[in-house]
Amino acid sequence: MKFLQTNNTWTAITYNRHSAEDKQENSVPIQKEHHDKFATKFGGKIISHLSDQGVSGLTANRPGFQSLMNDWILNPNAPHFDYILVYDVSRWGRFQNQNEAAYYEHLCEQHGKKVLYTSKPFPKEEQEITDSIIMPMERWMAAQYSRQLSGKVWYGCMKISKDGYSAGGTACYGMTRLLLDENKKPIRELKKGEHKQISNQRVTFAPLNDNTTQTVKDIFDLFVNKWRTTEDISDILNEKGIPSAHGGKWNVGKLNRILGNEVYTGTRLYNKTSGKLKQKKVKNPRDEWVIAPNAFPSIIDNETFWKAQERLFWTIPSRWRRGIMMIRKAQKFVESEIKGLLVKNGFDEDDADQRIKKFPLAYSINSYFGNPDKKTTVFVIEEEKRNYDKIIAVSIALDKKEPIENVFLIPTTEFNQCNFCLFSELDSPYKNYIIQPEKVYENIISFVDLMKKYERK
């Protein structure tokens, strides 16, 4: 498409966007006023204004932008016009993929329309080369602004959460959001959708102390102390006519969410998931969470909560299946490393595979057994592995990206008649048997040498 000369009469529609994080000088009325002056100065006529107010420009999924494309660009019955007036590249969108911004501009040109950025002078044909060089940089800068802003917001939320305050979100069942003044003194409860008005105020959570709070206590009591199943508990609550969080009937899924919610212990949790800049949300391992214990009054004590987690692990198939999956992942890695050492030390691959099956290895999922401050590990061995003096034991963490947490060297005399050994990180065996990372290979090689010794015999 050729640029029209400024002495020709032309028509245009405008696209205006202002998001919550933008400054006031980027407001929609100011953008419209600027477009009107631009059209008047260069002999144009605006026939329609399209706008997105308070909408992020990270994606094309905006009502005004979609109307621009569907009702005006792609619609063959739309009134004739020549240009789309946009204040600058950032108003068109802060697409994280620059090609996406270029794609929509190209789509307009394919249908005989040109995007003009009115913060610049009316373009001329001889400027096309310069624009082709500068435009990608401006698109990158528009995207970079969102990335930088997202980072600042994220770090701000992390800081607030570390201090035990809410960085957004709603209160869970049985709890409410409480507004605090600049001295962190309670002001009042916040209604749903209501936010603080002053920057140095803070928001925290607190028990509602109503029927819903009592229901949470009853659920934990029935599950932990009376050993009722979640199916039983849902039947009990439904028979009593107690509504769930959103007014419906209780079911196993809703109860599992209640029983697994650490917030009820007065703990502030943040960064459990990541999904910055409209990206797909992913679950983060626990060691990446912000965890602020005793941030607000609890409904459930720690001991009761962690007893519930222990029981939930075995009652929810997806949890213990994940445990099995993590053990297999760790086992595959460890045995691959050991096989490499065996081959390097003179065993052929087939023989190494057979030796690994007899290698003195044990695996365990770390557990808390009702005490979040006392990590407990249980290792179980086969009877034939008692032929060794010691066992290489690998502990698995379910809440970390890398499953292997610690490696121990445990004397077989520590295993009882049922062939299992239990100790916690507070016990002396934990400190005595744990192998420092730099010593793991050294200990494995000693077992390899032992195998070679047996082979010679």
CA pair distance 336, 98, nearest whole angstrom: 43
Write out pLDDT tens, residues 195-254: 776 767 888 999 999 999 999 999 999 999 999 999 999 999 999 999 998 889 999 999
- Number of domains the chain is built from: 3
pLDDT (0 to 100) of residue 98: 79
Question: What CATH number is attached to the domain comprising 124?
Answer: 3.40.50.1390
Q: What is the mean pLDDT of residues 181-206?
A: 82
66: part of which helix (H) or strand (E)? helix 63-67
- Whether residue 159 lies inside any domain: the answer is no
The predicted structure's pLDDT at residue 432: 83
Q: Does a structural domain hold residue 153? A: no
Tell me if 303 is assigned to some domain.
yes
Q: In terms of domains, do 50 and 143 share one? A: yes
Distance CA(88)–CA(22), nearest Å, equals 13
Q: Give the domain CATH number at 236.
A: 3.90.1750.20
Most confident of the following: 381-390, 436-445, 448-457: 381-390
Query: For residue 457, what pLDDT is reported?
Result: 45
pLDDT band at 21 (very low <50, low <70, confident <90, very high): low
Average pLDDT over residues 131-136: 64
Same domain, residue pair 257 and 383: no
Encode 211-223: b = buried (16+ Cβ within 10 Å), e = exposed.
Answer: ebbebbebbbebb
Question: Are the beta carbons of 55 and 21 closer than 8 angstroms?
Answer: no
Please give the residue range of the domain that contains residue 38. 10-148
